[in-house]
Amino acid sequence: MNRRSFLASAAGSAIAAPAQTRIGAVVTAYYRNSHADVFLGNMLRGFHWEGKRHESELKIAAMYLAQAPANDIGREQAASHGIPMKPTVAEALVPGIQGVALIGEHGDYPMNEKGQKLYPRYELMEQIVNAYRATGRSLPMFVDKHLSVEWKKAKQMFDWSRELRFPLIAGTSLTLTWRRPALELELESPVKRAVGYC
């Protein structure tokens, strides 16, 4: 038994809930089942794990939303959870936050000649980095999906994190997907090739 579980199980003790880590959210578009909804929605609504409901240990302190399409729920979600919507990226990095989530997926953006949608992850991160420089405070950052479709921009994003010495991680909010057609492999089955598409 660790210290936390011991204290939580102590009879008759009034234990306050752990303080939530406050983050700023920088989002391109937020609608039902979008990456913003999957990632930020679990912070706002809580989530289920091992058959139990959990409250998130992360709290969105402020949000910048680049686009609001007809099916937008970002503004409504922010209002219903008391999250201030900010008109600029820099203003979404409110005093007291301890990290930044950059969800640069979805929205109306141009395509390149390869058919890749040019989400402005680089441009949004540049605004975040400029705010870090202005305040003299660099914070950990999560970038949903990859950094950029352009190597030069992706390298620059990485270099900013090294220059300003902030932890940077990029990955997907989609932690589970389904096989179509359905396929179950025996444990340790040899697999020669696999393709993932979402």
Residue scoring higher pLDDT (128 or 180): 128
Query: Would you tell me how many other CB atoms lie within 10 Å of the CB of residue 122?
Result: 20
Structure tokens belonging to residue 54: 């959990």
pTM across the whole model = 0.79
- 83-107 pLDDT, tens digit per residue, is 999 999 999 999 999 999 999 999 9
Domains of the chain: residue spans and CATH: 18-171 (3.40.50.720)
pLDDT at 196: 67
- 5-51 pLDDT, tens digit per residue, is 544 554 434 445 568 899 999 999 999 999 999 889 888 988 888 88
What span, in angstroms and rounded, lies between the C-alpha atoms of 112 and 100?
Answer: 28
pLDDT at 14: 46
- 58-81 pLDDT, tens digit per residue, is 999 999 999 999 999 999 999 999
- 124-165 pLDDT, tens digit per residue, is 999 999 999 999 999 999 999 889 999 999 999 999 999 999
